[in-house]
Structure 1
């Protein structure tokens, strides 16, 4: 029998703590080992209890979640921390900061407008994220043999990126290594709700020499600009004469996601044919696998992040096991390889 995921709950609200407890008690694979009411108490209890997972509120008295996160990442680097965030602009900004500091993932807090619906969404979000931590431990030794088709530099005119859990810190590391003279557009689908994608774009724009922005419907796609799909909108590329444009829409979720990586990758395959390169990064599930297959059928290239550097190896693993990955790279290898393939140094 697999070991239970030992979880510490941290929130200054007794109501919120009870809500999380009630949700986690539904799953026999999760064990609640303690509760704390602020960041200071969380650090003290975590040092003693050594949890696998901490659910950590951002806004708390005495010591907030961001301050606690910084200490916990140093003291207990193996513990995965899931942030709870309010659905506000400030909450989204703080959450992106937490994710860039190494938080595992986040869950939006319930809104007063639709409390019961929000509680159900928390349950649907939180349980898989906690249980995904256990599976991520098991796949770090996953060995693969890529398709051995070494991609050739100079063939690609656009880069598509699909990413989910662990995305912000992974994207930050990649974009630190992408130079200002990168010659092609970059389109990103990061699984995130509205508000959060705008804050992610702003954070990446600050650390990258490239312009990074949240995509807008109908805007012309420009070389050297990075476009992030807005939360709750699929993003595609469409073509009119020789000009290519962003198309945003709220079609049905794909792989339970909107935005979905498959939607973006399918459009890149159709519009760019063999000149599209797609990159599958850390994330739960298999979103991006079908789109990567279409890119390959059209002659494009596929790169997947390896197991050892993925926070969660779901999305890259789906692509690799389907035999779609031309190259499998560690996080540190990806920026250098992109510079080579797009011939920019």
Structure 2
């Protein structure tokens, strides 16, 4: 049984979250709090497995609260509740950088209380199970969250990729915990890094734009939210916009971004698999694929296509991942050529671009 503390200044929202969670037999709401100050005392008293935390609250807001939580409880999972606005997105990204585990968005423009509860339930229950590393729990379409780790030790790393020569592109997929992980990888790359980097981070509209702007300020490389028809150029990071699949296409001698709103894949739009398929078609074995922390299995099928073309796939290891669903799915399928701690991935990319091979594999 997963115990949850719900923190929100709105009585209506607290009730909404409690109702959304009450129907799951594996989850128990052990308490609620109207602000961060009350929440801190209840965390010590109730010892919940996970906390849901509003951002805008009186007395002590969510940003202050997450920083205080992390001083005493560095590993306690915390899910932020955010609005789909520029202000909400900015505050959420700040909360993630301050140690929040993940976020969900508050229902907007829904027709009924029942629809609001359904929206919250579909977003939050899979995250609770994944962050608490508990198998099971119903989610959208009756699909259960992917296990965060294999049940028994397995050999995770393949032999170094044969490839087709010098890498020409880096393709990255990430989800839960991804904003912080991606920031650490990209910020460590030098201004002279010679490859384009195309990224799918599971995020809604507004959030991806704010995230790209935030990362652009922190990194030495140029970071943009991708728009349709952008030339894919060295030294630039392209973030797929929320609610759009991003692909790359070759037109004459150049490669360009392409956006489309086809059906979600793996319940996601943008989806890593969509991007990776297009990268495999355009760049083939001259690709460095990277799967960072994230819930679910998005990127596994796309990695299969890249590996079939001779590309190299690097995944973040379990110990440094917030959720080892996406990288774990790729690694346990035998598709990863290197399984590395987060702080080694940027050096690995730099080394490969310079002509080296796999730095170190872990399994």
Counterpart of 1:172 in structure 2 is 183
- 5 Å-filtered alignment, 1:153-232, equals 155-232=166-243
TM-score (norm 1): 0.95
Is residue 87 of structure 2 the alignment partner of residue 90 of structure 1? Answer: yes
From 103, 127, 130, give the equivalent of 2:128: 130
CA distance in 2 between counterparts of 1:332 and 1:21 reads 38
Counterpart of 1:62 in structure 2 is 59
Is residue 119 of structure 2 the alignment partner of residue 109 of structure 1? Answer: no
* Total equivalences in the alignment: 342
- SS of 1:274's equivalent in the other structure is coil
TM-score (norm 2): 0.90
Counterpart of 1:145 in structure 2 is 155
The C-alpha deviation readout for 1:96-118, integer Å capped at 9, x for no partner, is 11111121111101114545544
Over 3 Å counting, the alpha-carbon distance change for 1:174 and 1:184 in structure 2 is same
- 5 Å-filtered alignment, 1:306-345, equals 306-343=317-354
Quick check: 1:136–1:312 contact (8 Å CA) kept in 2? no
**Structure 1 unaligned regions, length at least 5:** none
Quick check: 1:140–1:308 contact (8 Å CA) kept in 2? no
- SS of 1:12's equivalent in the other structure is coil
Counterpart of 2:139 in structure 1 is none
Over 3 Å counting, the alpha-carbon distance change for 1:297 and 1:84 in structure 2 is same
The C-alpha deviation readout for 1:251-302, integer Å capped at 9, x for no partner, is 1111111000000000000000110111011111110001000001111111
Counterpart of 2:142 in structure 1 is none
Counterpart of 2:143 in structure 1 is none
How much is the aligned-residue C-alpha RMSD, in angstroms? 1.9
The C-alpha deviation readout for 1:22-47, integer Å capped at 9, x for no partner, is 11111111111111001111111112
